[in-house]
Structure 1
Amino acid sequence: MPLPEVCVVYLLRRGPNGLEVLLGDKRTGLGEGKVVGIGGKLDSGETPREAAVREVAEEIGVRVEASDLHEAGAIDYHFPTKPEWSQRSTVFVCRRWRGEPVETAEITPHWYTLDAVPYPRMWDDASRWLPGVLRGGTVDARFTFGADLATVVLGAH
């Protein structure tokens, strides 16, 4: 049975101290309290790219064009003790958009230089693949989380 599909977008800009990525403090739902990329579930009939455009607008009030989204790969997440959390995430990087990120009920956005990304506050898998993606690489990975629903117990990438 295929995993439910989600998408995540990492906006990148050149800041005064080098390349910066936009991440958000998750305020509700799965991942509440963690620092996450911008994204969410695909609606019925929606492609990952279409969902990414919609989710960025809904979560931080920024408009991205589908053609400006660079697909950087996909990750399968497995939660054997809570299978409803299992999902497949398509990862996008975007360097062009319109508008300024704003706080919403779901996300409080913050810019981080690449050497200051708060990996300890993110999902356990992020430090294993996100640095490479933010520097222009790709990801094709599978991660299985333990009974604590927080720690990666098996990862392949």
Structure 2
Amino acid sequence: MTDFLSLAYPWVKSLHVMAVISWMAGLFYLPRLFVYHAERGQNGGEPAQSFQIMEEKLLRMIMNPAMVVTWLAGLALVLTPGVVVWSDLWPWSKAAGVLGMTWFHMWLAGQRKALARGQGLTGRRYRMMNELPTLLMVVIVVSVILRF
């Protein structure tokens, strides 16, 4: 099995990077949709219905699969011999960042349901939360590239 992982490493890493890009795009865009939904779509009718469709499809058709592939490919990379030195700090800081991203993803899924019920946060609050994936991305990228 470890021989297979070593041979597949460049392919798995490529898949991981593509999945992360897709996941991050959704993590950046969904809170922006929430801002518009909270500010322009709370009176019911057409804007609210359109926002709900866009939010649901983005989450279900792009973000959820991208997150799953990111996790599966990432775990395959972690299991590849020689990739991770567990005595270093970087795999732990990256793991903390990935867990933070996953929590944010789940929080967004809950907010989508709350907005559909007319119980979401304000547009300003969603704008503020939209900065969280950027901060987590910085932690993850710096951890992996600098390997401190």
TM-score range, shorter chain: under 0.3
Please identify which structure carries the higher helix content.
2
Please give the TM-score of this superposition, normalised by the length of structure 2. 0.23
Q: Higher relative CO (CA 8 A, sep ≥ 6), structure 1 or 2?
A: 2
Please identify which structure carries the higher strand content.
1
